Amino acid sequence: RGLDINLEREGIAISYRTINRRLKQLHEKGLVEKVNEDRGWYVISDKGQKYLAGELDASELEDDNE
């Protein structure tokens, strides 16, 4: 836990469960990488960076089986 607390400090209300569910989806698409299994830490992947930079279209993620 931590991301939910930091978001709450910024006035963004989101549950810990929702964050975990979304991170799982991002991980399945290859947009984030888990860097610590025990603590559940993630970092944005190269693919995620490309998506945020507009170099990767969302439609390219739909059929992605990574």
**Distance between CA atoms of residues 47 and 32, nearest Å:** 8
**Distance between CA atoms of residues 29 and 5, nearest Å:** 25
Q: Is the pLDDT of residue 4 over 50?
A: yes
**Distance between CA atoms of residues 46 and 33, nearest Å:** 9
Q: Which residue has the higher pLDDT, 65 or 45?
A: 45
The predicted model scores a pTM of 0.75
